[in-house]
Amino acid sequence: MKKTAFITGATSGIGKSTAIHFALKGIRLVLCGRRQDRLDALKEELGKEVDVHTLNFDIRNKEAVTVAIDTLPKDFSQIDILVNNAGNAHGLDTIQDGSVDDWDAMLDINVKGLLYVTKALIPQMVARKSGHIINIGSTAGKEVYPKGNVYCASKHAVDAINQGMRIDLNGTGVRVGAVNPGLVETEFSNVRFKGDEERADNVYKGFQPLKPEDIADIIYFVVTRSYHVNIADLVVMPTAQASSTIVDKS
Ligand code: NDP
Ligand code: 8X3
């Protein structure tokens, strides 16, 4: 029987590439995001390959998350794979200059939103004694970089939650693991710099960054291992990157 994946943040970047990769491999999809036009376009395109259902909610809205998941149509209600991907950085400022609104956004989306979605989907996985949760962390969750403060904190929290989920779900049959990318060229920096495209483009200039397709390929690898194999925590960087702050742009 075909598996069904629930992907948050499917309208762009890593989530969108994962949706495309999964569809081409025959994995049915529940795709989430706030931009309805993009959800519609994905449904139209990927619906040629597999069954696709879309959900439009702001992951910060606890009630909207719960209602969306609780009212999934019957043929999409069994979720085999959850990719907790929705997230972004907002701003790049010292802690003394940072915006409280940016901090709220990062903690509410990257941490609390991930928890709301997971909380709503875990019970069915535990009841079936099967399921796979992939948490998209970051190298920023392994190492703090200058002005990264709260974004790094949010991704360190994802790292801790990933470990905690795996510990607590041990023995239930549900697999839990994280994929932690370094620099991937997506809309990430555009969001971080609030639409300043020149500043966003500069982040990826002078070296070959990862493409969202690279991460999608890795996520597909992670979810297609034999059942007794759980990739618990995977870090992937561009070859030109050695750490959050060391990137060869020569
Ligand atoms: P993008 O900006 O391209 O995609 C972010 C996705 O998250 C979009 O689909 C967006 O959908 C969704 N999203 C953002 N805010 C909300 C919200 N409030 N409610 C619902 N959905 C939301 O960035 P990436 O693909 O790069 O980022 C995906 C994940 O990868 C993030 O968790 C990020 O932290 C992580 N990551 C990214 C790296 C990079 O270098 N790009 C490196 C390491 C990790 P919409 O706007 O339609 O709601
Ligand atoms: C995204 C990678 O280094 O831009 O998590 O924070 S970085």
- Separation of 127 CA from ligand 1 center, angstroms? 30
Nearest ligand by distance to the CA of 190: 1
What atom of ligand 1 comes closest to residue 88's alpha carbon? 34
What pTM does this model have? 0.98
Asked if the structure places residue 248 within a domain, the reply is: no
What atom of ligand 1 comes closest to residue 182's alpha carbon? 42
The encoded tokens of residue 196 equal 């300043």
Asked if the structure places residue 65 within a domain, the reply is: yes
Asked if the structure places residue 24 within a domain, the reply is: yes
* Whole-angstrom distance, CA of residue 87 vs CA of residue 184: 13
Provide the 3-class DSSP secondary structure of residue 54.
strand
Tell me whether residue 227 is one of the annotated catalytic residues: no
Top mutation candidate among 29, 37, 84, 85 for ligand 1, by most atoms within 8 Å of CB: 85
Asked if the structure places residue 76 within a domain, the reply is: yes
- Separation of 186 CA from ligand 2 center, angstroms? 11
What average pLDDT does this structure show over 76-97? 98
Nearest ligand by distance to the CA of 180: 1
What atom of ligand 2 comes closest to residue 152's alpha carbon? 6
pLDDT range class, residue 74, cuts 50, 70, 90: very high
Nearest ligand by distance to the CA of 14: 1
Mean pLDDT of the chain: 98
Asked if the structure places residue 158 within a domain, the reply is: yes
- Separation of 13 CA from ligand 1 center, angstroms? 7
Asked if the structure places residue 249 within a domain, the reply is: no
> Which one from 116, 145, 151, 227 is the annotated catalytic residue?
151
Q: What is the DSSP letter of 50?
A: S
Q: 236 near 218, Cβ under 8 Å? A: yes
pLDDT digit string (tens) for 132-149? 999 999 999 999 999 999
- Separation of 189 CA from ligand 2 center, angstroms? 9
What average pLDDT does this structure show over 27-40? 98
The string over 30-46, giving b where at least 16 C-beta atoms fall within 10 Å of a residue's C-beta and e elsewhere, is bbbbeeeebbeebbeeb
Q: From atom 23 of ligand 1, which residue's Cα is the shortest distance away?
A: 188
Number of domains making up the chain:
1
pLDDT > 70 fraction of the chain, expressed in percent and rounded: 100
The CATH number of whichever domain residue 17 belongs to comes to 3.40.50.720
- Separation of 248 CA from ligand 2 center, angstroms? 16
pLDDT digit string (tens) for 211-236? 999 999 999 999 999 999 999 999 99
Asked if the structure places residue 242 within a domain, the reply is: no
Q: From atom 5 of ligand 2, which residue's Cα is the shortest distance away?
A: 138
pLDDT range class, residue 1, cuts 50, 70, 90: confident
Asked if the structure places residue 247 within a domain, the reply is: no
By C-alpha distance, which of 6, 116, 122 is closest to 61? 116
Supply the range of the domain harboring residue 60.
Answer: 4-236
* Whole-angstrom distance, CA of residue 157 vs CA of residue 163: 10
Top mutation candidate among 92, 186, 201 for ligand 1, by most atoms within 8 Å of CB: 186
ipTM score over 0.85, yes or no: yes
CB neighbour list of residue 78: distance below 8 Å, 6 or more residues apart: 4, 124, 128
